[in-house]
Every structure is written in structure tokens, then in C-alpha cells.
Amino acid sequence: MLAVREQVRAQGVSAEGADIIVASWTAGTEKQYRPHFRRWSQFCSRWNINSINPNVSDIINFLSDTFHRNVRYESVITARNAISSLGIVVDGCRAGNHSLVIRFMKGVFNLRPPLPRYAATWDVQPVLRQLQSMHPLHTLSLKDLTLKLVMLMALTQAVRLQTLHLLTIKGLCIEQDFIMVPLSGNIKQCRPQFNVHVIKFQAYLKDASFCVYGTLRQYLARTQELRQGMEQESYSLFLSFIKPHKAVTRDTIARWLRKMLDRSGIGTTRFTVGSVRATAASKAKVMAVPINCIMAKAGWTRASNFAKFYDRHVGTTDPFQDAILQ
């Protein structure tokens, strides 16, 4: 981000203002944009282009170079967004909104249309059966209790790995039928109009084996002694079930979810742990949950985001075919 900061400073912005502008990129976005920033800088140096004040043809040529690296449509979109995020203005509009850039991106779409990672998602029933078998809670090892809790949270909240990793017990609030768990940082979908600080885990009275509230209370009681004498890292909700029981990384939580999918017979060679979010949202739609409720739970502002990226066919049966052949 040093190069980005220097470009902002070159536009006359103070050092203090540049620091705040650089802070507008989250760590994830910065990591995603970083290679495109680097290639843009190299492209401008090679062709002696002013990287702050390029022509629209320069931007088109850069995006064309990106396209001919045989990358997916999404990568070209990310390259365009990265350049546009630098505040570059061409012919009175942001670089990414220039009419010729928009027309170029339509051409990229036609030549190399985006493909969803999954045409269909897995059925949640095998996972539910596995969760149901992990009961009663007091008989579970800390490992199995942890695996069950992580999967229940991922399914019932349709959250990303990042959200699970940021859960903290600092400021945790336990009520009679729900628990409010704070987050130690901003999650991906946070924005000025939608800023999530806590996640609410509601009790499920119909079946105790599926109750995330009860599972979480059991986990907190089981790990309370492990947190004694630990420093601030003990505030992290999830601790390793292996000594010395330190706070875990996001990759560790991903391995826990993958383990639960494997136990349930879900092929993790085909489906990643990120598919849990899509499966939860798709199952909610199948069960006639209102779309605005699904969007609120997942933090989406537009129904098109759900339809484009997460709404997948659930299950392997064809009800029309079943009706004809009966």
C-alpha cells in the first residue's frame, strides 16, 4: 500500500489524510487489490504513463493485458475496481465508470462469462444427522464439542470464516434464551449503513441436539478453566482443543468445518468450507424463508447478490420426475 499512499500524496493530499484514505481498504481488499496495483505501476512505468492521470486508452490497454493473461472475468473486474479505487478521474468520471471501460467490460463478459463455483450445493440433512448424533453435550470431548459448535454457528448464521474467527468473549452477554457474542473487528460486509458489532445466537427449543445456544453455553463452561492465566488472546471465543489451548487462526476454523463435512459424507474435494454459507442460504429459501430475512442474516443489500452467488439447487431429487414416475 506504500505505492498507493504515494499516489494519493502526489494529488496534494496531506500525509494524515493519505493515512486515513489507505485505511479505507480492509486487509482482505488490500490483499485482493495488491497484485493489480503492482501490475498497474509496472504497466505505467513500462509505457511511460502518468499513473495518476492516465487516458482512458491507457486503462483499456491495462485491462486488455489483464484479460490476455487468461484470467477469469472476476479477475478483470477486480483489476478495474482496483484502478477505480485509486480515485483516478478520466474525462470527468471515475475510471471504472467511463463509458468505454463499461463497454470493454461487457465485451469481457461476452468472451469469458463468469461461472459460479457451484451449480448445485450439498444437502444439509447428512450434516444435521451428524450433529444430532453428537448428543448429549456432556458426553462429548472438547474436540467434538468444538466441531459441533462451529458447524452450528456457520449454518444458523450463514456467516463467513472471518466472522467466526472474530467472535470474542469480551463483552459477551448471556440471556435466558439467547447469547450476544461481540466481534473483535469489522467483518467483510460491514459498511457505514450496515455495521455489525455482535452476533445473536438464539436458543432452539424444538431439538436440544441442534441448539447453538446450549452448545455455546456448554463450550464456555468447558473452556473457562483453560482461559485462566491467559492474556488477551483468551478473549477469542475459539481455543485450540490441543494443548496449550491458544486462540486459533481462521485456517484452523476452516479445518474444523472441513472435518465436519467429511464426517457427514460431504465431498470436500468438490465443496469448500465456504459452501456452508451458500447451503444455509439456499436451504432457507427452499423452506420459504422471506428473502429480506435471508438478506438481513447474511448482510446483503441486494437480492441479486443472493441470486447470483448463493442461490443454488439443494438436493439430488427432481420432484417433477418423481411425480411422473410414481
> Looking at residue 86, which CATH number applies to its domain?
1.10.150.130
Q: In this model, does residue 195 exceed pLDDT 70?
A: no
CB 250 within 8 A of CB 238: no
Give the pLDDT confidence of 130-153 residue by residue, as tens digits.
999 999 999 999 999 999 999 999
Q: In this model, does residue 320 exceed pLDDT 50?
A: no
| pLDDT value for 313 | 53
Q: In this model, does residue 26 exceed pLDDT 70?
A: yes
Average pLDDT, the chain: 85
Query: Which residues does residue 183 pair with via DSSP β-bridges, in sequence order?
Result: 167
132 and 253 share one domain: yes
> Rounded to whole angstroms, what are the CA distances from 172 to 201, 236, 245?
11, 11, 20
162 and 261 share one domain: yes
169 and 266 share one domain: yes
CATH of the domain at 140: 1.10.443.10
Q: In this model, does residue 318 exceed pLDDT 50?
A: no
Q: In this model, does residue 317 exceed pLDDT 60?
A: no
Instruction: Please compute the mean of the pLDDT values over residues 38-66 and round it to a whole number.
Output: 94
Contacts of residue 100, Cβ cutoff 8 Å, sequence gap at least 6: 56, 60
CB 280 within 8 A of CB 124: yes
Residue whose C-alpha cell reads 476454523 in the numeric block: 253
CA-closest candidate to residue 200, choices 186, 187, 218, 212: 212
Q: In this model, does residue 296 exceed pLDDT 80?
A: no
Q: Is residue 302 part of a domain?
A: no
Number of domains, the chain: 2
Instruction: Please compute the mean of the pLDDT values over residues 27-36 and round it to a whole number.
Output: 87
Q: Is residue 288 part of a domain?
A: no
Q: In this model, does residue 68 exceed pLDDT 60?
A: yes
Q: Is residue 252 part of a domain?
A: yes
Quick count: other Cβ atoms within 10 Å of Cβ 98? 20
- Phi/psi region, residue 70 (left: phi>0; alpha: psi -120 to 50; beta: rest), is left
Identify the residue with better confidence: 313 or 189: 189
Instruction: Please compute the mean of the pLDDT values over residues 214-228 and round it to a whole number.
Output: 94
Q: How confident is the model at residue 323 (pLDDT cuts 50, 70, 90)?
A: very low
Domain boundary among 275, 290, 317: 275
93 and 156 share one domain: no
| pLDDT value for 324 | 36
Provide the domain limits for residue 252: 121-275
* Beta-strand relationship, 120-121 and 313-314: parallel
Contacts of residue 187, Cβ cutoff 8 Å, sequence gap at least 6: 159, 160, 162, 163, 166, 196, 299
C-alpha span between 11 and 40 (Å, rounded): 17
Report yes or no on whether pTM surpasses 0.95: no
Contacts of residue 31, Cβ cutoff 8 Å, sequence gap at least 6: none
Give the pLDDT confidence of 238-260 residue by residue, as tens digits.
999 998 889 999 999 999 999 99
Give the pLDDT confidence of 148-180 residue by residue, as tens digits.
999 999 999 988 899 999 999 999 999 999 999
Q: How confident is the model at residue 321 (pLDDT cuts 50, 70, 90)?
A: very low
| pLDDT value for 271 | 87
